[in-house]
A and B are shown apart, each in its own frame.
Chain A
Amino acid sequence: KQEVTQIPAALSVPEGENLVLNCSFTDSAIYNLQWFRQDPGKGLTSLLLIQSSQREQTSGRLNASLDKSSGRSTLYIAASQPGDSATYLCAVRPRGAGSYQLTFGKGTKLSVIP
């Protein structure tokens, strides 16, 4: 059974700092990995989707990497801003036809201090 772990559970950084969020998964047979952002009491906003054949994806100040063989992904946020404060979730989809299952981690709660 796939398990997804996100460390740390919470992170507090001063504004302007670069930071890295970590995601690890136990089964490397994945189809893709998706990073989301969730604001308190709200739904999820998709940030980046990395296919299993890719090594990284970039969107603005965000860069996500994937090392499938070691079961790890990182989300790099450059020049953090108070508006980046949210919970960041990663989720993996298994390889295999027909499965819609996404397995989520518990998330990392990020606070960017002005």
Chain B
Amino acid sequence: ETGVTQTPRHLVMGMTNKKSLKCEQHLGHNAMYWYKQSAKKPLELMFVYSLEERVENNSVPSRFSPECPNSSHLFLHLHTLQPEDSALYLCASSQGNGYEQYFGPGTRLTVT
């Protein structure tokens, strides 16, 4: 595997379900990001981890819970989501602050 990978690529879940999105980077980077991309809106930064510590949290509802167990892996735990949370969730990584960000292919999430 190379670059940034994300699983699953597609996810359909009910509002009462609990699921997790996984991201793995194979680039030796030390910062990882979660973004949300909704139709007709710009990408929104959700969370940033640097050296496994959360450094930014952009007022994201608590039904989204990130986890970064090591510098190569990032998770987004989801519970009791709303239909408006349906979107493409993108993971990215970078060598550090100010460096180029590399994106994964995304997880297309549909909340029914």
**A99 CA to B96 CA in the complex, in Å?**
11
Pair B103/A44 contact, Cβ less than 8 Å: yes
Q: Which residue of the partner chain, among A91, A98, A105, contacts B55 with CB atoms under 8 Å?
A: A98
Pick the residue among B101, B105, B106, B108 that contacts A102 (CB under 8 A). B101
Whether A114 sits at the interface, judged by CB under 8 Å, is no
- Give the size of the chain A interface in residues (CB under 8 angstroms): 26
Specify which chain A residues have a CB less than 8 angstroms from the CB of B101 in the assembled complex.
34, 46, 102
Expressed in whole angstroms, the Cα–Cα distance for A45 and B104 within the complex equals 9
Query: Are B98 and A31 within 8 A (Cβ)?
Result: yes
Q: How far is the CB of B82 from chain A (nearest CB, A)?
A: 22
| Per-residue contact bits, chain B 1-35, to A (CB 8 Å; 1 contact, 0 not) | 00010100000000000000000000000010100
Tell me what chain B mostly uses at the interface: helix, strand, loop, or mixed: strand
| Most chain A beta-carbon neighbours within 10 Å: one of B4, B40, B92, B97 | B97
Task: Digitize A31-45: 1 where CB-to-B-CB distance is under 8 Å, 0 elsewhere.
Answer: 110101000011111
- Is A41's CB under 8 angstroms from B88's CB? yes
Query: Whole-angstrom distance from the CB of B19 to the nearest CB of chain A?
Result: 19
Q: Complex Cα distance A23/B105, Å?
A: 24
Residues in A37-86 with C-beta less than 8 Å from chain B: 41-46, 49
Complex CA distance for A91 and B45, rounded to whole angstroms: 12
In the bound complex, how far is the Cα of B50 from the Cα of A98, in angstroms?
A: 10
A6 to chain B, nearest CB (A): 9
Do residues B42 and A4 form an inter-chain contact, with CB atoms below 8 A?
yes
Report if B100 contacts A (CB, 8 A).
yes
Residues of B within 8 A of A (CB): 4, 6, 31, 33, 40-43, 45, 48, 50, 55-56, 58, 88, 90, 92, 94, 97-98, 100-106, 108
